[in-house]
């Protein structure tokens, strides 16, 4: 199970914040990520009780003290439905529905937490560091379905929209369904479609085919016409106007990030908190030089991840090499110790011989064996056991007797040789 807000973060990881991060507040994200998207709005209107079931399970798991459900104030039906659902349960003293201003990107996790609680998630940190757990409304429904009905996450709500779609709608679809099936259910895509986008208009990415499938992270497909996708214009040089910094919801310096990402200076770009960028696209939207800023940030993030992976691989290889060297050293020491013990044993033998009065211990053993055999032979003769009659043996028995005679003869020869 993963979070259905778009980032697909594993739900089990979020629900195990560790004893170092005690959680006291549960924030439920009912704010849509981007314009056009309305799948969470529909979910809150249709399945409010189920969302509360999920919230109850999360409370049972991590024992939070309070729960805030943030919903944008342009969704009055969803707010009313959730208020009604909360009032009908025993959660009313504990869960609060909070309308928030409709201002992109208030559906971002860190932004929503700040709006609802006034607390700021630390740079490069997670909400658990400030005692907050954030879950999407879709994730709450999926948790309830899994725990109460044993139903895995095999479907989700997806918005199909854009002016290129004759009848935009939200559909509950199985994961893996091709986009063409969904657009077909909404009247098909018109000839005037210029871009087919997976995700919202700000953070989504263009898809080249309608055959790509719905995944757990897919919340929207857009078929945008030319009037919805104005030509971005030719990118010009940065004029340091600072407009990008004014609109950045993460309070970063987008122009600095741009400079260092463009120069491929991956260390400097980290100094400006690249990984706090939520790729909302606000900076690029207001940039008078039409610089595709987010593309530079995505590039820098990908390169940084690749470099980090290389560093980890090198670290792993070094650890393996050191372990191998240590193992070879240990084996060599063991071999030397074995040789030493053997040598000492050999040196001890003449001493044992002299201790026995000059008699060779090997010869003494052979003599003792011969004496035992003679004693046994005499005992048999004394008991009058007749020699074996070999006249009426069949050929197989005869062969066994011959083989035994041969072995005995060989043993006697060997004994006399040793003497």
Positions touching ligand SF4 (CB under 6 A) are 238-244, 247-250, 252, 254-255, 257-258, 277-283, 287-289, 291, 293-294, 297
Smallest gap from residue 301 Cβ to ligand SF4 (A): 10
| Nearer Cβ to ligand SF4 (224/283) | 283
Smallest gap from residue 185 Cβ to ligand SF4 (A): 33
Contact call for residues 247 and 202 (beta carbons, < 8 A): no
Contact call for residues 339 and 305 (beta carbons, < 8 A): no
| Nearer Cβ to ligand SF4 (131/292) | 292
Smallest gap from residue 255 Cβ to ligand SF4 (A): 4
| Nearer Cβ to ligand SF4 (141/248) | 248
Q: Which residues of 115-151 are buried (b: 16+ CB within 10 A; e: fewer)?
A: bbbeeebeeeebbbebbbbbbbbbbbbbbbbbbeeee
β-sheet bridge partners, residue 221: 160, 198
β-sheet bridge partners, residue 158: 171
Smallest gap from residue 229 Cβ to ligand SF4 (A): 19
Smallest gap from residue 256 Cβ to ligand SF4 (A): 9
The answer to whether the Cα torsion of 143, 147, 149, 152 is positive or negative is positive
| Nearer Cβ to ligand SF4 (57/247) | 247
Residue for token digits 């249709």? 46
User: What single string gives the DSSP state of each residue in 271-323?
Assistant: HTTGGG-----HHHHH-TT---HHHHHHHHHHHHHHHHHHHHHHHHHHHHHHH
| Nearer Cβ to ligand SF4 (78/294) | 294
N residues, the chain: 419
| Nearer Cβ to ligand SF4 (69/261) | 261
Cα dist from 334 to 221, 340, 347, whole Å: 66, 10, 20
CA 180/CA 182 separation, integer angstroms: 5
| Nearer Cβ to ligand SF4 (190/242) | 242
Smallest gap from residue 290 Cβ to ligand SF4 (A): 8
Smallest gap from residue 276 Cβ to ligand SF4 (A): 7
């Amino acid at each position: 199970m993963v979070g259905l807000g778009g980032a697909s973060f594993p739900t089990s990881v979020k629900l195990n914040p560790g004893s170092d991060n005690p959680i006291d507040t549960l924030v439920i994200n009912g704010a849509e990520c981007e314009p056009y998207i309305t799948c969470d709005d529909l979910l809150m209107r249709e399945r409010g009780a189920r969302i509360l079931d999920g919230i109850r399970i999360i409370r049972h798991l991590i024992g939070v003290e309070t729960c805030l459900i943030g919903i944008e104030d342009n969704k009055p039906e969803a707010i009313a439905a959730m208020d009604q659902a909360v009032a009908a349960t025993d959660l009313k003293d504990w869960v609060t529905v909070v309308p928030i201003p409709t201002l992109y990107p208030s559906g971002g996790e860190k932004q929503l937490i700040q709006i609802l609680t006034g607390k700021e998630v630390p740079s490069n940190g997670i909400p658990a560091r400030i005692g907050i757990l954030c879950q999407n409304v879709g994730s709450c429904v999926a948790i309830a379905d899994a725990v109460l009905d044993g139903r895995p996450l095999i479907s989700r709500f997806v918005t199909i929209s854009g002016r290129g779609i004759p009848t935009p709608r939200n559909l509950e679809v199985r994961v893996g369904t091709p986009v063409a099936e969904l657009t077909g259910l909404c009247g098909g895509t018109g000839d005037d479609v210029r871009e087919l986008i997976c995700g919202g208009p700000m953070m989504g990415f263009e898809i080249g085919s309608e055959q790509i499938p719905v995944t757990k992270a897919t919340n929207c497909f857009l078929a945008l016409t030319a009037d919805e996708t104005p030509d971005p214009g030719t990118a010009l040089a940065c004029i340091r106007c600072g407009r990008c910094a004014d609109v950045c919801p993460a309070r970063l310096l987008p122009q600095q990030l741009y400079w260092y990402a463009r120069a491929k200076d991956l260390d400097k770009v980290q100094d400006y908190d690249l990984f706090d960028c939520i790729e909302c696209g606000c900076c690029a939207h207001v940039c008078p030089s039409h610089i595709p800023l987010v593309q530079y940030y995505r590039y820098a993030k990908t390169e940084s991840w690749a470099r980090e992976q290389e560093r980890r691989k090198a670290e792993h290889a070094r650890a393996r090499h050191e372990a191998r060297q240590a193992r070879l050293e240990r084996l060599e020491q063991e071999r030397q110790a074995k040789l030493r013990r053997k040598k000492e044993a050999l040196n001890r033998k003449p001493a044992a011989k002299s201790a026995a009065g000059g008699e060779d211990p090997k010869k003494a053993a052979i003599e003792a064996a011969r004496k035992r055999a003679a004693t046994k032979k005499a005992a048999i003769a004394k008991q009058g056991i007749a020699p074996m009659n070999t006249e009426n043996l069949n050929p197989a028995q005869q062969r066994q007797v011959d083989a035994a005679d041969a072995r005995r003869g060989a043993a006697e020869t060997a004994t006399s040789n040793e003497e």
